[in-house]
Structures are given as structure tokens and as C-alpha cells.
Chains A and B, each alone.
Chain A
Amino acid sequence: MTDEMITAGIDVGAKFAKVVILKDGQVLARAKTLMGFDLLKSASDVFEMALKDAGLSRGDIQRVVATGMGGNAILQRPQINADETVSGVVAGAAGAFQVVPTVRTVIDVGAEEGRGIKVEGGKVKDFVINERCAAGAGTFIEAMARALEVKVEDMGPLSLKSVNAIPMNAQCCVFAESEVVSLIHSKVSKEDVSKAIHDAIAGRISSMVLRIGVEKDVVLIGGCALNPGFLPPLEKELHTSIIVPEFPEFVSALGAAVIAANPQR
């Protein structure tokens, strides 16, 4: 890694685009924006935000690495001109290793995908992806929040107040919405329903992570890590404590920025 090298990582996710600007292993700026209909515009906007925050211009950034669902779309496009794309698995592992060097298992749960990554010496050894089914990722919690008529950010705190564990039968987001409505009609409290929702998704994510084996330290990243209700059922299912780093939703973008700074890895 060259001294004074400034790099950027951009993670174009399904719901949010995240940027991290890195210099010598120090984060200079972070920026995040909702993905709009125009992928390129959202990506450029968030990139501009980060540059502004850091007091830099595009020319100051030596290398940019992109990741996420929209990563390929912004490769070598004007404004951002990403040099390279890496998969979310690689970026997530690199970012987690950067913030928790003792990491062996990464759990990355975003809006549309959930992943388990086995890390050895900072490199990806195995991974499992739970994709293309809304019930396995953040979309599930959002959809249930709508059915419960509760703000998404309130779902976690609600679930933590629950005193009863009730099972959810529906395994599909669409069917679960109806089940939530009928649970409420049966006078089940919103707290208990929210807990059931968090238990359900934690169960799904845990089963998938068990396929790569769970070894400490276990690190949780991605947007869902911001949800305080997500961690307790996950720790319970996996029988281990889990570390949630600061700014967990930015860890993949950070990983991309780290990779940008180490092209000979």
C-alpha cells in the first residue's frame, strides 16, 4: 500500500448505495443514499456526498472499487469511474477483517440477500448465499413492518419488549403478511408479533450460516445489523456471541476501499 494513497469503495446495494473514502487505513468519510430508479444517478449522488464530506474531489481518489448488486453497472462509467468490481462476499470479508482482525465468520444481511462467509487469514474460505427469496433478508422485516403498521426502525425495539415467543407458520413474505394481520386480529401484541418476525428471519439466516460452520469471532454486517432486535435471536440460534462493528452497513464499502488500496493482494 502506497503512503498517502486515498481510495474509495462504493457498495451499490438493493436499497442503499454506500461509499467509504479511505486514506492509510483511516476512514475520511462515509455517505449513504436510498437507491432511486436511476442507479447511476444514485451512485453518483452518494459519491459526491462522500467527496464533499471529505473535502476532496474525484481527482484526489487514486482507485475506486465497486461492489454490490449494481457494482458492474457503474464500472468505468463517468463521474465515478470505478476501476474494478468485487463480489459482495469478497468485499464483506475484507471489510469485516479490517474492523475485526480476529474474524472467522461473517454474517452479512442486506435488503435482498443474506450471506455467510467463512474467513481464514482475512481471505474468503467458504461462503453461502441466501438469495432471491424476500423472506431471507431485510425486505422481510420491512414488509412485516408495513403489515403491522409500524415504522421499520421501531420493529427491533418492539421485539425486544416481547414476553411471548410465538411461532410463525408462513415462510413466504407474501403469506407472512396475511399471517401477521390475522395474529393482530387474534389480539396478539405487536411486541410479540415483531419478536416472532425476528425469530423467523434469524432462524433462516442461522440455518444457512451453519452450512459453512460457525467459528468465533462472528461478525454481523449489513443494513440488518442496525436492527437491535436482530442480534439476540441470531446469537441464540447460533449459540455464540456476535460482534456488530460500528457502521455495519458500510463494512462492505469499506472492504471495497481496502481492496482498492491493496491491488497486489
Chain B
Amino acid sequence: MTQAEVKTQEYWRWPEYRFTIPDRDWHNASVITAGVDIGSVGSKAAVLADGELYTYAVMRTGGVSEDTAIKVTGWAMEGTGLEVGKLHYVVGTGYGRVNVPFAKKSITEIACHARGANYIYGSTVRTVLDIGGQDCKAIRCDEKGKVLSFLMNDKCAAGTGRGLEVFADLISVPIQELGKVSLSVDQEPPPVSNTCVIFAKAESLSLLRQGWSKEKVAAAYHAAMADRIVDLLTRVGIEKDFVITGGVAKNIGVVQRLERILKIKSLEPKMDPILAGALGAGLFAKALYEKEQGIR
């Protein structure tokens, strides 16, 4: 297993990484597919051998989506002997899904996320909440991972990773620790009253000036974020089992508050939930390849 160097100089920057599942081998597989999820903040590539996750990589989306697509896929395959030419079918997805030059088809991130969540969490999943860098998606799906209802909010930074990045900078706490910091309070303070990140930032500054600790302000901000996300979830309806995917799924401050308000525990992932989109895309790739080949 190789791992990227952790780069955490700026408080808002999260670490990039790759991973190859140790006891799997693509040489024995009959269908090798890949899903490439180009998000507005993070890009992920997942390579599947016969529909099982084999190797993957996660990196920050650069200025040119096509380059990022090539880079992240190449990095995922690093050291495995695989290359793009050996992939039977590639599906692109995400915000920049049309910019995966070697993808045969692009499929909406909503459909890919539902499918990927079904793989990561199992067929009991019915409600998927994906909190990404610049968007927040709420998806209801069936036992096969097919979408029954969805809602995506990518207009407003509140309730997204970006809002958290702004906040991490404000209180000078590395973003990976923000969630933990927000839970280090004896009593939950009232949520900040402004949902708009700009106004919430000003409100937080004034709270800090009034003597509130970083932990307390972080708690107030996370509480507001959780309330907001619950509003969106309520629109599509919440049914067990409930899961949270996307980069912000790693923020325990958001996760725990959501679970507390909804009175449902989210399922533990069997693998990195940030891969839901890329995995779903890779699985669609397999289905489409088999359909093409007449295999059923």
C-alpha cells in the first residue's frame, strides 16, 4: 500500500491519497471497469475487477478537469500494471463528468451515488445523504440502488464542505479536526442564526469577540449546518437505512448531530464513502459493458 504524503499546511486543505486492495488481482478478472467522479472540489477514480473494488485514488480537482481525470485515474492504477487501454469500459460522473476524455459514457452523479451507496452499504440502504465540497444531495433509492427521489443543492455554500472550509480558516483549525472540535463542548450552544456562510462568518466573529471558545463557536456553526441539512432531507423523505457519503461524511460533528436530530443512526461504511460516485459509475460501466457484449 502506498499513501500520498499528507499535506496539511493550509487549514482548509485536506490530504490526497490512493489505495490498492491487497489481496485482489486484476489479472484474473474478466471485466475491468472504472468510474471517474470529477467533483468541483475533489476527484475520485475507482477501478473495479468483476464489479469488486480493486484500486482507487482521491485528489483535489485542478484547474483543468480533463487533466485531473487522467491524473487521478493514473494514480489509482499506479503500481498495479493497469493502464487506461486495459479498461473495458469507463463511465464519467460528477460536476465535471463531461470532462473525462477516456470515458465511454457519462451518467448523472445522482444515479451513480445511489448505486455506489448500495455497493458500499448494502441493499438495505434507502436514504443517501451526500455532502460534497460544493453541494449537498439527498437521495431516496430502492434495494437495487435505483433513484426514487432526489434533491441537490449546489447554489448555496451553507451546508457544504466549502462552508466548512471557510469556517476552518476563520477559527484556524485544520479541517480534518473541525468536527471533533465542535463536539468538545459540555452543552450544545444554540445554532448560529444565519444560514448564509457570509453572515454566519460575521456572526461567528462577533461570538468569538464576545469570548466564546473556538469549540463553542464550532458547535454553533455545525448545529446550524445540521439543521439546514435536515430540512433538505425532509423534502425527499427519510427512510431506514440511512447513510452519509461525500467528503463531509468524515466530519463527526455533522454526522453525530444529524443522527441526533433524525433519531436514526447512519450505517457504518465498509469502505471510504467518498468513493460512492466513482464506485457507482464503475458499476454502471460493468452493466453497460455486459449489455453491449450481450452478456446477461
Q: Which residues of A contact B (CB under 8 A)?
A: 37, 112, 132-134, 139, 143, 171-175, 182, 185
Contacts and interface: CB of A to CB of B under 8 A. Distances in A.
17 contacts: A37-B206, A37-B209, A112-B199, A132-B194, A132-B195, A132-B196, A133-B156, A134-B199, A172-B197, A173-B197, A173-B198, A174-B157, A174-B163, A174-B197, A174-B198, A175-B157, A175-B162
A21 to B, nearest CB: 30
Contact of A174 (B63, B162, B194, B209): B162
A185 B198 contact: no
Contacts, number: 35
Contacts of A139: 198
B134 interface: yes
Interface string B156-184: 11000011001000000000000000000
B82 to A, nearest CB: 33
Interface of B: 63, 134, 155-157, 162-163, 166, 194-199, 206, 209
Contacts of B209: 37
A133 B196 contact: yes
A133 B194 CA distance: 9
A134 B63 CA distance: 26
Nearest to A186: B63
B63 A182 contact: yes
Chain A binding surface SS class: helix
Contacts of B134: 175
A133 B200 CA distance: 11
A185 B198 CA distance: 24
A172 B194 contact: no
Going nearest first, the 10 A-B pairs with the smallest beta carbon separation are A174-B157, A134-B198, A171-B155, A174-B197, A172-B156, A172-B157, A173-B198, A134-B196, A133-B196, A172-B155
A253 B83 CA distance: 69
A81 to B, nearest CB: 26
A143 B199 CA distance: 12
Nearest to A139: B198
A225 B189 CA distance: 39
A174 B166 contact: yes
A142 to B, nearest CB: 10
Nearest to A171: B155
Given A174-B163, A185-B63, A132 B155 contact: no
A172 B160 CA distance: 12
Contacts of A132: 194-196, 199
A132 B156 CA distance: 12
A145 B70 CA distance: 35
Contacts of B196: 132-134, 173
Nearest to A136: B196
